[in-house]
């Protein structure tokens, strides 16, 4: 499932002509997809120049990519430059697309992203999902997804893959299984067992992983190795390493919420003591701020903090210091380019960042550390759903042969 | 420098026939090198069967590998099986080799490893290197290295690469520089500036990284993703991820010694409080055990602990608990297959393991964790020097075109 899963390893086996063709299709599509606005649209000749492939090879590859619906080629207006008008390549804005789905503790979501990475359909409905039977939640989500797909079809988009963001553990070794989603009360849920239409079953993926991938693909900070921390009911974190999701040996990497920040501190329901979640988790922050749970506790906290409420400010400062302490361990171990506060934390950044930065400055001392390397995600709570849709799109760009030939 | 640095990434550029040849040379050499004892020696036909390459392709590749000195081919004794006697391929036991060098706080080392990964020359001399000028230390090491290389030449071995293990920071972006080796008192030392013979200058590498790589290449526990912790004067750790050294964004990954284990605890010279090194570092353990520094404090501690000395046992238990707490953070973040106590810790494992395991059991609760996933390295304090020599050998196996054609 990880992007780049198709990367060749010399130990994996001999290279074939077919591998070369696949790799070069990906190089050409990736080159057109990565062409930045300033570079303007690329011609076949431009692609040959950028990739080092011959013009003949590029033409054959481009023709195949057009046939698979991944590229379009348009007559461009005269550019004022000498010579005949060029033909500009572009990644298709209608055609292949990815459907993202999301089960949150208090909402359902569906979105469709085109091959350019643009979100074209976006739906989100509030639902109290905690403790509801998975079958009912997933049936409602399937309906939302079908509506989104129908709307996308009206825009000329064809869904090529479906990914489901869940706040739970999705082990690498058992694809298709949500092993445990504590805040939903789900154990060993396999979406395929509950999904009404066997043709549209989505592949589940941890929402923190998807938020981190969306951040990598859409943010412009240029970090290739970073820790992305998000929070809904629990604390989720994920690691992007050299531009790829790092899952760990069994798919459990990034469990920041149970890093000990006060070894002899508050007992945690997990059985340990002093876990980060007891200081920076939603319930802990609300309790410290003297607030009861509401429909949107993040907005409530932000409102109170903006109004200068001392208890809210104190709770966010305490959460920020605990986050900073846990992130200091992450920096010491992983040496990331950047740390990103995403999800709900992004919306509370104004009050969290100073405390997190102060703790990092005090704890990360044996190597250079730039305080600006910690920042908030621009995607906020949209990240996970966006990442779910983008995953299909990025897999296609990494291997265009996943698309059927027209 | 990392093994596998030659792995192709589809985004890196188009594949060429030359890349395919290089990759297939590596596949063939790797197949012969990995043939386990039970499998017996491989013939050209066996290699074709194992790799999926044609017999003609294998023969051409084998001929080139023999020409480069990486493989030998011998008439085998009749096996009792029907058919003519086979010809068995083997990785050369004389020919290409790697030279490892080491500057420790209290010793110098040199070793030569052949292409099969066997150590053929081993030299270690005691030297109090802390605070001595780098020029003098490196001149002595160059002499030791030249002796080892001469001895290896007598065995028919030709040194193809030189790597220097140092207890310090070697940043990725500035190859050839030891930025900081606090326990030697070295700042910004570039071995090339001090090495007497410009033709034999070694590439420096952090000793914890090399110890972890040696553990990966030589141990038989089969873990592909693990944290390797070692200790000399400081605490060094390194991460192996999917069989490759994980350096982090700038080469600083694995700084376990400054993970906070007691946030408001003992001040550390690094400027922070409660760092692991203040509880599990050599000086801290000796102090807690009521022992003065000696020529070999590890042996002293082990002797006292074996004799049941309560202060030594208490100091090792405290160190083990602190190590366990820091490693709990590592497990939560990285989700490794295994944790390995290497270097001096391996020699103290009998007294450290129970406390580390107890702390991990109490702290790693939200996902399965097998106590046996923590164990001691069989290489002990030999790991870093062995890793320095093996690095060259493994680079050759990953890209045999590094070897000159005979």
Please report the ipTM that was assigned to this predicted complex.
0.85
From the CB of residue B237, how many other CB atoms can be counted at a distance below 10 Å?
28
Q: Which domains does chain A have, with CATH numbers?
A: 17-91 (1.10.10.10), 97-210+384-402 (3.30.420.40), 220-377 (3.30.420.40)
Query: What does the block give as tokens for A248?
Result: 């760990």
- Residue B176 backbone dihedrals phi, psi, to 5 degrees: 95, -5
DSSP 8-state code for residue B203 = E
What's the per-residue H, E or C state across B229-273?
A: EEECCCEEEEEEECCEEECCCCCCCCCHHHCECCCCCCECCCCCE
**Non-local CB neighbours of A310 within 8 Å, separated by 6+ positions:** none
Angle at B170 between CA B169 and CA B172, to 5 degrees: 130
The kind and range of the H/E element at B342 are none
- Distances, alpha carbon A309 to alpha carbons A160, A182, A318, A346, in Å: 48, 32, 14, 20
Partners of B164 in beta bridges: B101, B204
Q: How far, in Å, CA of A23 to CA of A18, rounded? A: 9
Query: What does the block give as tokens for B51?
Result: 């790799």
Bridge-based pairing of strands A338-341 and A226-231 is parallel
Looking at CA atoms only, how far is residue A263 from chain B in angstroms?
Answer: 7
Partners of A239 in beta bridges: A227, A246
E strands of A47-185, at which residues? 71-75, 87-91, 95-103, 107-114, 119-126, 157-166, 178-181
Which chain A residues contact residue B6 at CB under 8 A?
10
Closest to B31 (Cα-Cα) out of B73, B74, B89? B89
Q: How far, in Å, CA of B75 to CA of B58, rounded? A: 18
Q: How far, in Å, CA of B235 to CA of A212, rounded? A: 31
Pick from A24, A247, A258: which is nearest to B14 by CB? Answer: A24
Provide the chain B residues 5-44 that lie in CB contact (below 8 A) with chain A. 6-11, 13-15, 19-20, 23-24, 26-27, 30
Pick from A4, A255, A363: which is nearest to B332 by CB? Answer: A255
Query: What does the block give as tokens for B251?
Result: 């080469």
Name the pLDDT band for A47 (thresholds 50, 70, 90).
very high
b/e per residue B150-164 (b: at least 16 CB within 10 A)? ebbeeeebebbbbbb
Q: How far, in Å, CA of B144 to CA of B133, rounded? A: 17
**Non-local CB neighbours of A150 within 8 Å, separated by 6+ positions:** none
Which chain A residues contact residue B8 at CB under 8 A?
7-8, 10, 23
Provide the chain A residues 146-165 that lie in CB contact (below 8 A) with chain B. none
The kind and range of the H/E element at A375 are strand A374-376
Provide the chain B residues 240-259 that lie in CB contact (below 8 A) with chain A. 241, 246-256, 258-259
Q: Are A53 and A65 in contact (CB under 8 A)?
A: no
Q: How far, in Å, CA of B338 to CA of B357, rounded? A: 12
Query: What does the block give as tokens for A317?
Result: 């400062």
How many interface pairs between A and B have CB atoms less than 8 angstroms apart?
Answer: 189
**Non-local CB neighbours of A344 within 8 Å, separated by 6+ positions:** A230, A231, A232, A282, A298, A380, A381
Q: Is B333 on the interface with A (CB under 8 A)?
A: yes
Cβ pair A366:B8 closer than 8 A: no
**What is the per-residue pLDDT across A141-177, written as a single tens digit (0 to 9) for each?**
999 999 999 999 999 999 999 999 999 888 877 889 9
Cβ pair A248:B20 closer than 8 A: no
Classify the phi-psi angles of A290: left when phi > 0, otherwise alpha if psi is within -120 to 50, otherwise beta: left
Cβ pair B7:A4 closer than 8 A: no
Query: What does the block give as tokens for A275?
Result: 């876990």
What's the per-residue H, E or C state across A128-149?
A: CCCCCCHHHHHHHHHHHHHHHH
Looking at CA atoms only, how far is residue A250 from chain B in angstroms?
Answer: 7
Print pLDDT tens along chain B (406 aa).
222 333 334 444 566 778 889 999 999 999 998 886 556 789 999 999 998 899 999 999 999 999 999 999 987 755 555 555 568 999 999 999 999 999 998 899 999 999 999 999 999 999 999 999 999 999 999 999 999 999 999 999 999 999 999 998 888 778 899 988 888 999 999 999 999 999 999 999 999 999 999 999 998 788 999 999 998 778 989 999 999 999 999 888 999 999 999 999 999 988 899 999 999 999 999 999 999 878 788 999 999 999 999 999 999 999 999 999 999 999 999 999 999 999 999 999 999 999 999 999 999 988 889 999 999 999 999 999 999 999 999 999 999 999 998 7
Which chain B residues contact residue A261 at CB under 8 A?
263
Q: How far, in Å, CA of B159 to CA of B179, rounded? A: 27
Q: How far, in Å, CA of B168 to CA of B208, rounded? A: 9
- Between A40 and A38, where is the model more confident? A40
Partners of A236 in beta bridges: A230
| A236, closest residue in chain B (CA to CA) | B333
Q: How far, in Å, CA of B361 to CA of B33, rounded? A: 38
Closest to A108 (Cα-Cα) out of A78, A76, A130, A86? A130
**What is the per-residue pLDDT across A174-184, written as a single tens digit (0 to 9) for each?**
889 998 888 89
Q: How far, in Å, CA of B295 to CA of A72, rounded? A: 72
Pick from B57, B271, B328: which is nearest to A365 by CB? Answer: B271
Q: What angle do the packed helices A44-51 and A17-34 form, to 10 degrees?
A: 110
- Residue B361 backbone dihedrals phi, psi, to 5 degrees: -60, -35
Length of chain B (residues): 406
């Amino acid at each position: 499932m990880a992007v780049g899963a198709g990367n060749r390893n010399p130990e994996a086996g001999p290279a074939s002509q077919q591998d070369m063709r696949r790799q070069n299709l990906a190089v050409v599509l990736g080159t057109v997809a990565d062409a930045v606005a300033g570079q303007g649209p690329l011609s076949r000749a431009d692609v040959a120049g950028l990739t080092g492939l011959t013009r003949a090879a590029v033409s054959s590859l481009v023709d195949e990519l057009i046939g698979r619906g991944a590229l379009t080629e348009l007559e461009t207006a005269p550019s004022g430059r000498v010579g005949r008008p060029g033909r500009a390549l572009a990644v298709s804005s209608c055609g292949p697309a990815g459907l993202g789905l999301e089960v949150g503790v208090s909402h359902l979501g569906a979105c469709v992203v085109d091959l350019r990475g643009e979100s074209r359909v976006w739906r989100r409905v509030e639902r109290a999902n905690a403790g509801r039977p998975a079958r009912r939640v997933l049936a409602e989500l399937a309906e939302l997804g079908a509506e989104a797909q129908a709307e996308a079809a009206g825009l000329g988009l064809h869904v090529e893959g479906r990914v489901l963001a869940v706040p739970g553990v999705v082990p690498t070794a058992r694809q298709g299984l949500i092993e445990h989603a504590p805040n939903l009360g789900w154990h060993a849920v396999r979406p395929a067992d509950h999904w009404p239409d066997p043709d549209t079953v989505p592949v589940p993926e941890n929402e923190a992983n998807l938020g981190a991938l969306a951040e990598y693909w859409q943010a412009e900070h240029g970090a290739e190795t970073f820790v992305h921390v998000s929070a809904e009911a629990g604390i989720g974190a994920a690691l992007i390493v050299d531009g790829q999701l790092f899952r760990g040996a069994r798919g459990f990497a990034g469990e920041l919420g149970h890093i000990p920040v006060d070894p002899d501190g508050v007992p945690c329901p997990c059985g340990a003591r002093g876990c980060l979640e007891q200081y920076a988790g939603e319930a802990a922050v609300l309790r410290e701020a003297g607030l009861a749970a509401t429909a949107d506790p993040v907005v409530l906290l932000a409102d109170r903090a903006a109004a200068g409420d001392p208890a809210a400010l104190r709770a966010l400062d305490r959460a920020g210091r605990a986050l900073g302490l846990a992130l200091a361990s992450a920096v010491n171990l992983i040496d990331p380019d950047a740390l990103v506060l995403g999800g709900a934390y992004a919306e509370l950044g104004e009050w969290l960042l100073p405390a997190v930065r102060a703790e990092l400055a005090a704890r990360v001392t044996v190597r250079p550390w730039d305080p600006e390397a910690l920042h908030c995600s621009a995607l906020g709570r949209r990240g996970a759903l966006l990442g779910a849709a983008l995953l299909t799109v990025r897999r296609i760009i990494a291997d265009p042969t996943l698309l059927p030939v027209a």
